[in-house]
Amino acid sequence: MRMYYSRLKLASVLGVCLLGLLLCLPNGMRKPFPSIPWRQIHLGLDLRGGSYLLMQVDLKSLTHDRLQTLVENTRDALLKSQLGYQNINVNADKNTVSFQPRDTAEADRDVATLDKLPRVVPNEFSVKKQDDGTIALVLSADAIKARAREAVTQSIEIVRRRIDGTGAVDPEITRQGDDRIVVELPGISDPERIKALLGTTAKMTFRLVDSNPLHATYAPPGVSLVPMANPAEGGPLPVFDHVDVDGTDLTNAGAVIDQQTGEWAVSFSFDSVGTRAFSSVTQTNVGKRFAIVLDNKVIEAPVIRTPITGGNGQITGGFDAQKATDLALMLRAGALPAPLSVVEQRSIGPSLGADSIRAGILSLGVGFLLVVVFMVLFYGRFGWYADIALLANLVLMVAILSLFEATLTLPGMAGMLLTLGMAVDANILINERIREEVARGRTPLAAMQTGFERATSTIVDSNATAFLAHVMLFVFGTGPVRGFALTITIGIATTLFTTLLLSRMLMARWYARTRPASLPV
């Protein structure tokens, strides 16, 4: 390497450092005027307080629901074509719906009829005659996968809508893997309400109650005993499986106070499809009970007194303000395609976050000072230069993290600190080399040149291995640990820049200025 640096080179290295300093500014001040880009480091949940929820989409139930629908579709299609069937059933392990044709001669017509059933995705299922004479509708594995992917995408959208409705600030909702959703809620350290919101599928259906007294304890096919949402109101009600009106036909819902009773209620309005269905059911079934079923629980089952044709209605289910608001919110946001369950939850209160920031900054400050003092004591002038590079290193690390708008976590702070400890290693290597060369009796110039040259390959080698280890950690880690790996990986890059360019340049320029007879090593 040469010992002379052009002004341009010097200017560009200093320019990078200065730019780094500028990029750090957004982290400590307000945006002075709106037109400039303003990127800053975000504080992780462990530093600002908040909750992290990892939710799993129940894909099994999704497939199960689809098979149930297929059973109904099959029944309807066969009845319409005046074909008979027996023993229709679902095999959840094989993802099939199968039945016994009334007459083996009809089998081909059965297949042809069922082949016309609507498919949610292309080639969703195939209709086959089995060896045992039954006919089976088989869901294809690809279709199940495609549905699952779509369900997760849908779920994310609905989760976002529901959370936005609660007024949470800066929620982050992301997909993880095939069937998981990460929800990050800064500032919410008690996520119980949000969990209740997300844990409800909010599939709402309006179904008639079977008024036959014999069916109150025994449900014939086509009728199910559905428990009451509030068990105090009595035992399960026999409700027809046939859905008269579906919650997906709702256009709006809100929490209101009922004029007559003064209780909280949820008012809703239907779109044209829902309005039509709702008015026709209420016209033909005056005097019967009409159950409002949410997630397989009866909220209420009022008697239809007059036909309701306006497309508006109200649900009173003994709500308090919060419950009414949340139910209205869920109805507006739509039903989840499949149930979500929380498989991991981490909540950090705001005070703990503040403590962590204090601890992190204190450790960083003290650690930085210790390293600075050590370098000066052990390496004199060149130690000072290493310290200048170390400061630049810290600045550049913060700058790059800001530029990426990275999230800083407590382990991330630890990563920064360790980077500072490791960063001076390059300077130590260079200095020790120069020292050796001087001891061998070389001139100052030759000693510095050889020292730089020899140390460079060692520096690159030793950093490469650390780099590899932390890339692995980034790939396999989650949450805070990823933050740690990211800061170290960035730190290695800034370390190479500051030690191989900046500190070396400072040393070379000092040499060029003073032409010393001996080196301070």
Q: Where are the beta strands (DSSP E) in 155-286?
A: 172-176, 180-186, 204-208, 223-226, 237-240, 245-246, 250-257, 264-270
DSSP annotation of 218 reads S
Using an 8 Å Cβ cutoff, are 226 and 239 in contact? yes
> In angstroms, what is the minimal distance from the CB of 121 to other proteins?
28
Nearer to other proteins, 76 or 355 (CB): 355
Q: In whole angstroms, what is the distance from residue 33 CA to residue 37 CA?
A: 10
Number of Cβ atoms within 10 Å of the Cβ of 382: 25
DSSP symbols for 300-331: E--B--S---SSEEEEEEEE-HHHHHHHHHHH
Number of Cβ atoms within 10 Å of the Cβ of 359: 12
Which tokens go with 190?
């008690």
> In angstroms, what is the minimal distance from the CB of 64 to other proteins?
17
Nearer to other proteins, 149 or 435 (CB): 435
> In angstroms, what is the minimal distance from the CB of 326 to other proteins?
16
Beta-strand relationship, 172-176 and 204-208: unpaired
Q: In whole angstroms, what is the distance from residue 503 CA to residue 521 CA?
A: 15
> In angstroms, what is the minimal distance from the CB of 212 to other proteins?
37
> In angstroms, what is the minimal distance from the CB of 70 to other proteins?
28
Q: Which of 375, 408, 427 is nearest to 490 (CA)?
A: 408
> In angstroms, what is the minimal distance from the CB of 275 to other proteins?
39
Nearer to other proteins, 191 or 247 (CB): 191
Nearer to other proteins, 66 or 504 (CB): 504
> In angstroms, what is the minimal distance from the CB of 417 to other proteins?
5
Q: In whole angstroms, what is the distance from residue 366 CA to residue 362 CA?
A: 6
Number of Cβ atoms within 10 Å of the Cβ of 22: 12
Nearer to other proteins, 15 or 220 (CB): 15
Nearer to other proteins, 398 or 414 (CB): 414
Nearer to other proteins, 189 or 248 (CB): 189
Q: Which residues pair with 186 in a beta bridge?
A: 50
Q: In whole angstroms, what is the distance from residue 378 CA to residue 149 CA?
A: 59
